[in-house]
Amino acid sequence: MNTIEDVLVRMDQIVEECKQQQSRIGYFSILYRQVTRRVRDGILAGEFEDNPRMEILDVIFAKRFIDAYELWKSGKNPTESWRLAFEASKNSSLLVLQHLFLGINAHINLDLGIAASETMAGKDLAGIKGDFDKINSVLAELVDGVKANISAVSPVFGLLIPLAKGKDELLLNFSIQIARDGAWKYAGEYHADSNKEFQIQDRDKNISFLAKKLINPGKLLGFLIKIVTFAEWKSAKKTMEQLDQVANETLHGF
């Protein structure tokens, strides 16, 4: 894959595979495809500080998800953060939002810093900070829109928040802004260290810990989640279609 259009072709294929196989990996794939489309449109409109460079960043970034997906599908192990997210897709007792956040956790908290550094290989990382923040703002807009309109996918999810207030900040208040700041800090550490493999393994260990917390949020919230998931039940394909509609309306207003 060399262009953002190449990425979109592969993302379309993954979304269709997930629909056909009723795979919950499709929840994150749907959102990420919308982000990629929005970035492509932004590049064409000249919205970024360096539009050709943004395409390079987007391709490297997307390829980390796609490569992880293909490794897992072939029976091999991607990073632990992605492995946990993919394995969790088999679990029907998790909320749609949990599946989304598991994908975002691996992709922002681990992959984004690596992609930013690789895009700026041999250059000053600070030069990409503006566009790094821009791609995160697109994702934040999308996630906030989905959370605000989650009733379209999970009719009783809103009841969970007051009942579980203060019990699990990570699940209920997952913040793209906080993840972005951590990802930028990690990008600097990764960029400065010649031992890239160590940096990936060490970061992956920490991010996979967050993934485990998203999967197992505690007894009270776990009990409430069971109630919500019962009301949320529908085919993965149907949920994907609803998510696509919500995401499209959030980013494009139609």
Inside any domain, residue 253: no
Residue 242, in any domain of the structure: yes
Confidence (pTM): 0.87
Task: Specify burial of residue 153 (Cβ count, 10 A radius: 0-12, 13-18, 19+).
Answer: buried
Q: Is residue 74 assigned to a domain? A: yes
User: Residue 104 and residue 139: Cα distance in Å, rounded?
Assistant: 9
- On whether residue 254 sits in a domain, the answer given is no
Distances (CA, A) of 202 to 133, 152, 190, 237: 24, 38, 11, 35
The least confident of 109-118, 128-137, 150-159 is 150-159
As for how many domains the chain has, the answer is 1
pLDDT at 170: 47
Q: Could you read off the pLDDT of 53-102 as tens digits, one per residue? A: 999 999 999 999 999 999 999 999 999 999 999 999 998 878 888 888 89
Note whether residue 239 is domain-resident: yes
Cα(181)–Cα(207) distance, integer angstroms: 14
Residue 9 domain boundaries: 4-248
Q: How far is CA 239 from the centre of its chain?
A: 17
Q: Is residue 191 part of a domain?
A: yes
Query: What does the pLDDT look like over 190-199, one tens digit per residue?
Result: 999 999 999 9
The SS3 of residue 7 is: helix
Supply the pLDDT for residue 141. Answer: 81
Q: How far apart are the first and last CA of the chain?
A: 30
* Residue 123 belongs to some domain of the structure: yes
Rounded to whole angstroms, the Cα distance separating 90 from 145 reads: 26
Spatial distance between the Cα atoms of 41 and 43, rounded to a whole number of angstroms: 5
Q: Is 15 part of any domain?
A: yes
Distance CA 102, CA 105 (A): 5
